[in-house]
Amino acid sequence: MVNYKDLGLVNTREMFARAIKGGYAIPAFNFNNMEQMQAIIKAAVETKSPVILQVSKGARQYANATLLRYMAQGAVEYAKELGCKHPEIVLHLDHGDTFETCKSCIDSGFSSVMIDGSHLPYEENVALTKKVVDYAHQFDVTVEGELGVLAGVEDEVSAEHHTYTNPEEVIDFATRTGCDSLAISIGTSHGAYKFKPEQCHVDPATGRLVPPPLEFAVLDAVMEKLPGFPIVLHGSSSVPQEEVDTINKFGGKLEAAIGIPEDQLRKAAKSAVCKINIDSDSRLAMTAAVRKVFAEKPAEFDPRKYLGPARDNMEKLYKHKIINVLGSENKLAQLD
């Protein structure tokens, strides 16, 4: 058993309470390699932002669970080395689908876990989430549950259609499970293809697709039922079109890739939404930089020469999200 506090990590409880009160959201960035982790920590330190390092089940399988744990511990030390005396870094399991997966993460040093039982019948979702909560809270690990289903594909998470969260269920779910935060469905979606072209309209000025707005009425109803309760948005990458354009310019084929407009995310961040998940955007930033290097320098074969620019481009993206979208800059509990 490895306790996350021994690794220098924190759970989400205090940072979420501050975020709700302050009208901003904590960035939750997925990672599965060193370059992503370096970029996330540099961006968080330079903006003085709390940050959640998210690891999916697929990322643990790809990178190795033991290595990821030590990377998280290294992230804390790296933040201190960069000048942050009191970093606030969470290691969070994204979309845990079984009790066993959540327990394994808790036992290996995660400070927060998500149990996603949204695909199950309601009562089974309640029972599974409560089982994880009962185990996690013994070790002061925070738990995120989910109500509603997000469409799209990302890692091992896949659903063809979304189902909006039913506000009438949230009080019962939160009360019976004891979860610390709740992921809801209001129209966000996993992956880089969040909407079909027929769901969008074309901006006459730019010629680009514009997606439908999020269902803020659902969010408002949830907040009315659960005032002050931490809400989470998954599938919230904006799919920057400049990165898509770069990828396509240098041999990629991302057609009709579209995400959540950043103005919608800014609006959400000012509400009880205190955690916003971003994964696809960093994948696009990394891929765009790598493709550019290979196109402009076809003889290059040193990984540092193409992963370095990829890391820098991701850091730029993360800083933008923190400062211009989520508003979490200068929100550390102890500003250094």
- Report the pLDDT value the prediction gives residue 213, as an integer from 0 to 100: 82
- CATH superfamily of domain region 2-324: Aldolase class I (3.20.20.70)
Residue 153 confidence class, pLDDT cut points 50, 70, 90 = very low
- Report the pLDDT value the prediction gives residue 142, as an integer from 0 to 100: 98
85-107 per-position pLDDT tens digit:
999 999 999 999 999 999 999 99
Mean pLDDT value of segment 295-313: 98
- DSSP-based three-state secondary structure for 258: strand
How far CA 114 is from CA of 163, 203, 207, in Å, comes to 19, 37, 39
- DSSP-based three-state secondary structure for 208: coil
pTM: 0.94
Q: How many CA atoms lie within 13 A of 101 on its CB side?
A: 21
174-194 per-position pLDDT tens digit:
999 999 999 998 887 767 776
Q: Which residues neighbour 167 within 8 Å (Cβ) at sequence distance 6 or greater?
A: 218, 221, 222, 224, 225
Structure tokens belonging to residue 19: 């975020």
Nearest to 216 by CA among 187, 173, 177, 180: 187
- Portion of the chain with pLDDT greater than 70, in percent: 94
Percentages helix, strand, coil for the chain (3-state, rounded to 5) are 50, 20, 35
Domains of the chain by residue range: 2-324
Chain-centroid distance of CA 111 in Å reads 15
Residue 152 confidence class, pLDDT cut points 50, 70, 90 = very low
Q: Which residues are catalytic?
A: 94
Mean pLDDT value of segment 45-66: 95
* Residue carrying structure tokens 């990829």: 310
Cα separation, 280 vs 263, whole angstroms? 18
Cα separation, 26 vs 329, whole angstroms? 9
